[in-house]
Amino acid sequence: MKQLMDSRAIDDALAKIGSQIIGNHPQLEELALLGIRNKGLELARRICAKINLQAGKELPVGVIDTSLYRDDVNMASRRPVLCGTDVPVAVDHKRIILVDDVLYTGRTIRAALDAITDLGRPMSIHLAVLIDRGHRELPIHADYIGMTISTTRQESVRVLFKKDPAQDEVVLLQEPELLKW
């Protein structure tokens, strides 16, 4: 296991993403952050806190459950576990910042886009991720990225939120280590 980011690096990356969002969206009232369940929600909350610190504006934050929109849901070994979508505002005519922890193949993002468009028609949807690790299977790209790394398909990137946020980290796991998770 190799540490890619410690809690300070995560915090700095989220502050950078928050600054970029503010810079690209002067009309903050039009924005809503939607995190992909589970870690995307925590990251969306933290980005919202950074935006609030920098711009004095509390943005609506919600959560998207992609379970029913996954393209692997019909596979025998995958049974969807529904955790629920909770979006506190109408998405129609909003600029949505979709937030996830790791961008890999793009399939989770595609599922989230389907879930959002079932709720309405936003003005735009931009993607913010803490880690972009490549290996896209779909034409998906992130607009806001905390860190870009090169990985192999035998590696995995994990964002680990601890009880004490000062111990949060992002780690890279090699194939033999994945069996322990």
169-173 and 156-160 strand pairing: antiparallel
Q: In which domain, by residue range, is 82 found?
A: 7-153
Assess contact for 179 and 19: CB atoms under 8 A.
Answer: no
Domain assignment present for residue 67? The answer is yes
Question: Does the pLDDT of residue 93 top 80, yes or no?
Answer: yes
Domain assignment present for residue 165? The answer is no
* pLDDT tens-digit series, residues 95-125: 999 999 999 999 999 999 999 999 999 999 9
Domain assignment present for residue 178? The answer is no
Domain assignment present for residue 98? The answer is yes
Domain assignment present for residue 166? The answer is no
**If you search the block for the tokens 């950078």, which residue do you land on?**
16
CA–CA gap between residue 85 and residue 35 (Å, rounded):
10
Domain assignment present for residue 18? The answer is yes
Domain assignment present for residue 114? The answer is yes
Confidence of residue 32 (pLDDT cuts 50, 70, 90): very high
* pLDDT tens-digit series, residues 122-146: 999 999 999 999 999 999 999 999 9
Question: Does the pLDDT of residue 75 top 60, yes or no?
Answer: no
Assess contact for 31 and 18: CB atoms under 8 A.
Answer: no
| Residue 83: closest CA among 67, 70, 100 | 67
- How many structural domains are present in the chain? 1
Q: What is the CATH number of the domain that holds 58?
A: 3.40.50.2020
Domain assignment present for residue 35? The answer is yes
